[in-house]
Amino acid sequence: MTTTEKCTPETTASVLGVNGNIVRIELGDCRIMKNEVAYVRVGEERLKAEVLRIRANEADLQVFEETSGVRFGDKVELSGEMLSVSLGPGLLGTVYDGLQNPLAELAQLDGFFLKRGRDLPALHASTTWDFTPACRVGDLLVAGQTLGTIPEKNIVHKIMVPFDTTAAMKVSSIAEGRLRTEASVATLTDPKGRTQQIPMVQTWPVRRPISAMMQQQRLIDREFPSQPLITTTRIIDTFFPIARGGTACIPGPFGAGKTVLQGLIARYCSVDVVIVVACGERAGEVVETIHDFAEMPDPRTGGKLMDRTIIICNTSSMPVAAREASIYTGITLGEYYRQMGLDVLLLADSTSRWAQAMRETSGRLEEIPGEEAFPAYLDSAIKELYERAGVLRLADGETGSLTLIGSVSPAGGNFEEPVTQSTLGTVKCFLGLSYDRAYKRFYPAIDPLISWSRYREQLETFFNTQVDPHWSASVAAMQKLLRNGESIEQMMQVTGEEGISIEDYVTHQKSMFLDMVYLQQDAYDPVDVSVSLERQREMFLLCKQLIDTEYTFDDKEHARTFFTKLTGLLKNLNTAPIESDDYARFHAQITDLATDVSTAT
């Protein structure tokens, strides 16, 4: 149903009933559309809501606030606008709630406890920016092409022709110089001679992908991801790579290190913009993230990490209904920066709580439930979300990417529950965290025996040409070693060391050696916390050389002593700067130790 007129105060809808955060309204003479924004009036408060379902002369709203005090007959204002976000300069470095209200300004207004009914502008209208035109009067432009640029933090922010423009528009005038956020930057004329003022800030419905309409007009093309997202975490980049513009999930039980891993990926990975969506996480964790990002130096730009970060914060102490919207708010902001030709990383922590919010809403709507009471459309909702990631070839020939990494928090670490299973059927990289490894203080606690990446074959050409000609085969051989080592470990738990041959025992020791020195990193060490691809190559090839070497041992105790010393030296090597005297000394000691017991000698 489409909107033909906006409701006036005389024709506003009214409340029929309340069920938690679901409010049923009677429409009267109003016309309404799905996902339209509405405001439920409770005295002087206006509670923001979204239309979820329309039936005859009634509609169901999802209210993003507590609904205490809402009564039968209360007035409901219908805005005639979809649930949308503001897109323009000033987003970077800001902390928003799930509906893009700036939390810093809310705190200034309300203090420690935020009041309901607040709806603030996402961007400051009075802020001024240096606008440099990128087109001239008379140019013909299509949706998404650049009108001008603004320097913002460490990026060049492009002001673009509105994404819903359906025809080529002629530039009738173009501004230049210092402009306020609320100003118009250009005047465009359509083929019928109608003019349109283009503001610096445009809005976009969060549930509609920006790329969808532009792909229909053939203004952009979706490309096959062919470059890796370098996270500087060895186990990810080497064994389970993520493509730039790809999708990945990090499921794991509570306390397994999802938040720490995502934080380090955000800090060190090779992207221009990071968007963190804290969806239902504990407030303490989110406050720590905000504090750390504000103080942490950015190794990519030299400034602060927050300068290229946007945080969407909807913690466990904030309204549950807004969790569901917060993910869409974050991904729409990511699509916006991707349209500028930038590489964007979206971290969603966690999609389990997003799905739980959907489950609660679905239950109150009395929809037929699926497995574990999640809505029957859970699988399609997860797929639609992850499909908004990808690499796009833009109208001006540039390429932009949006990589989506979602963490999943299955109860009790049960990867068989619906959210995890639907996510695994959608993403192409699975980084499964293990409680056992986390309990042993392994970081990252990614289990190499259950994790996988479908990007390995897809990125094989890159790694074999840019890293090492035999990279893919070497990685496959090391994964086989890890599986063999696990099989021997299980055998030893039954028979003890005495029940296996010395050959199998050496294989087990080699597997443990690889795990300890390459799959694990020290998140507190300034050198080992972030490892470049070049250093990963050198360390991996050294480990493979040591593993492939045939050794002569007198007995199992001799083998254990050797690999214990070798592991200690390799760990010291990991924490030594590559050009330092310590690095050269440890490297020489490793060579001497291996030579002493190698079969070749």
List the binding residues for ATP: 252-259
- For the record, the structure tokens of 197 come out as 């003022």
Contact 276, 306 (CB under 8 A): no
* First and final C-alpha spacing in the chain: 82
Burial category of 218 from C-beta neighbours within 10 Å (exposed 0-12, middle 13-18, buried 19 and up):
exposed
What CA–CA distance (Å, rounded) separates 147 from 134?
5
| Segments of 64-194 assigned E as strands | 75-82, 84-87, 95-96, 128-133, 140-141, 146-152, 155-160, 169-174, 177-180, 184-189
Q: Which of 525, 537, 589, 544 lies closest to 562 in space, CA to CA?
A: 589
Any idea of the CA torsion for 442, 446, 450, 452, to the nearest 10 degrees? -150
Q: Which of 126, 118, 136, 119 lies closest to 89 in space, CA to CA?
A: 126
Omega prior to 205 cis, within 30 of 0: no
What is the radius of gyration, based on Cα positions, of the chain?
28
What CA–CA distance (Å, rounded) separates 549 from 565?
16
**Paired residues of 17 in beta bridges:** 24
Q: If you ran DSSP here, which 8-state letter would residue 360 be given? A: H
Neighbours of 254 (CB within 10 A): 13
Instruction: Using the structure block, give the residue that is written with the tokens 């397994």.
Output: 256
As annotated, the binding site includes 252-259
Q: Which of 601, 146, 127, 124 lies closest to 400 in space, CA to CA?
A: 146
**Paired residues of 243 in beta bridges:** 228
Which pairing describes strands 273-279 and 343-349: parallel, antiparallel, or unpaired? Answer: parallel
Q: Which helix (H) or strand (E) holds 17?
A: strand 13-19
What CA–CA distance (Å, rounded) separates 45 from 115?
10
Task: Report the residue count for the chain.
Answer: 601
Instruction: Using the structure block, give the residue that is written with the tokens 């406050």.
Output: 287
What CA–CA distance (Å, rounded) separates 433 from 518?
17
Q: Which of 343, 186, 347 lies closest to 264 in space, CA to CA?
A: 347
Q: If you ran DSSP here, which 8-state letter would residue 411 be given? A: G
Q: Which of 34, 35, 17, 33 lies closest to 25 in space, CA to CA?
A: 17
CA distances, 262 to each of 188, 258, 278 (Å): 43, 6, 11
Burial 180-216 (b: 16+ CB within 10 A, else e): ebebebbbbeeeeeeeeebebbbbbbbbbbbbebbee
Neighbours of 527 (CB within 10 A): 17
Quote the crossing angle between the two packed helices 378-386 and 351-364, to the nearest 10°: 140
